[in-house]
Amino acid sequence: MKAISPPPPADRRWFLNRLLRAGLGTLGIGALGWAFWDRRGPRPEEEIAAGDPLPDYSIPDQAKRLAVVHGAERGANVTAALAALGGMQRFIRAGDRVLLKVNAAFAAPPMLGATTHPDIVSHVARLCFQAGARQVLVTDNPINDPASCFALSGIAAAAQSAGAQVILPEARRFENYSLPHGRLIRHWPLLREPLRRVDKVIGLSPVKDHHRSGASMALKNWYGLLGGRRNIFHQEIHTIIAELALLIRPTLVILDGTQSMIRNGPTGGSLDDLKPTQTLIAGTDPVAVDAAGAALLDKTVDDLPHLRMAERLGAGTVDYRSLLVK
């Protein structure tokens, strides 16, 4: 034990010194308390702002257009469709940063058609770079393990070969977002970070049967930008697809029906589930593109209620014939 030192003399200087220290300590504690004082307590979720609105990525003052091309070779189809629309330079300007939203939902090889075909990814990425794009990002929030999905679907290799960069849907890339006037997309995790980094968004989707919604095409592809327990949206699948049509106003969408998954979708798993429909549809109005794509699955607009719902919300038109380029 250390010896206890005797108390110092109790003079005035000593007392003033102690008084000063006590006063400063009280002031310091008070200042700290004031700085951290929360008068109201936590607010309800609805009062918390959820995200600044997403920009419109479409080209302003450009009439909506749509091109349908036929052929068995995906690269040639992409080239032909974009030529019909006036070339990639109509959509991508020098220095643009472009996001390719692919459908990489499942860890399945490309030949099974459950994911965007890697040829589409590499071709579109190259066309973007040729049009002067500075950077091309590729992303999706798949259903199966993300890294496996991008690897097995061949999308990662295709992106790499074209010089594009795959963005995996890590938790830090999501932000809570509320769609203005939306009913379902309220305070919902959105894969926002890659969207913040780009000027243009291009959707690349396969044509797939979907037992719940009728089809998974260009609009359903935006589902892969949602995070969280998005499965509950299946209760109102058509409403959520219509809201997604409002959420993302893309620069361009490309619907690849070179092979279409006509049954057992959206997972497929067998070559028997595919049909060589040899069609590729590209356009600036995703509602019209999906309306045109319905026929590939032997469906009509009436079989896909979300298309008319999206049209009523002002996201596009189901009358795709009016947009066809000659």
| Cβ closest to other proteins, residue 28 vs residue 276 | 276
Return the DSSP state at 304: -
Among 84, 157, 295, 309, binds other proteins (CB under 8 A): 309
Q: Show contacts with other proteins in window 95-134 (CB under 8 A).
A: 106-108
Q: Show contacts with other proteins in window 46-105 (CB under 8 A).
A: none
Is residue 239 at the binding interface for other proteins, with CB under 8 A as the rule? Answer: yes
- Residue 13 contacts by C-beta under 8 Å, 6 or more apart in sequence? none
Among 237, 295, 313, 324, binds other proteins (CB under 8 A): 237
- Residue 76 contacts by C-beta under 8 Å, 6 or more apart in sequence? none
Among 143, 202, 255, 310, binds other proteins (CB under 8 A): 143
| Cβ closest to other proteins, residue 75 vs residue 269 | 269
The token duo for 265 is 């979708």
- What's phi and psi for 180, nearest 5 deg? -55, 130
Is residue 264 at the binding interface for other proteins, with CB under 8 A as the rule? Answer: yes
Q: Show contacts with other proteins in window 163-222 (CB under 8 A).
A: 210-212
Closest of 171, 176, 174 to residue 188, by C-alpha: 176
Q: Show contacts with other proteins in window 22-41 (CB under 8 A).
A: none
Is residue 302 at the binding interface for other proteins, with CB under 8 A as the rule? Answer: yes
d(CA 176, CA 301): 32
Q: Which residue has the tokens 């509602």?
A: 287
SS3 state at 107: coil
Q: Which stretch binds other proteins (CB under 8 A): 80-88, 131-139, 226-234, 289-297?
A: 226-234
* Residue 295, CA distances (Å) to 35, 78, 113, 282, 320 in order: 63, 19, 18, 15, 12
| Cβ closest to other proteins, residue 142 vs residue 284 | 142
Question: From the CB of 273, what's the least distance to other proteins, in Å?
Answer: 6
Is residue 151 at the binding interface for other proteins, with CB under 8 A as the rule? Answer: yes
Concatenated DSSP letters of 241-263: HHHHHHH---SEEEEEEEEEE-S
Closest of 68, 123, 65 to residue 280, by C-alpha: 68
Is residue 266 at the binding interface for other proteins, with CB under 8 A as the rule? Answer: yes
| Cβ closest to other proteins, residue 199 vs residue 236 | 236
Is residue 275 at the binding interface for other proteins, with CB under 8 A as the rule? Answer: no
d(CA 8, CA 27): 26
Question: From the CB of 270, what's the least distance to other proteins, in Å?
Answer: 4
Q: Say if CB 208 and CB 268 are below 8 A apart.
A: yes
Give Cα 225 to chain centroid, integer Å.
Answer: 3
Among 269, 295, 299, 313, binds other proteins (CB under 8 A): 269
Residues that bind other proteins (CB under 8 A): 106-108, 143-148, 151, 210-212, 229, 231-232, 234-239, 263-264, 266-270, 272-273, 300, 302, 305-306, 308-309, 312
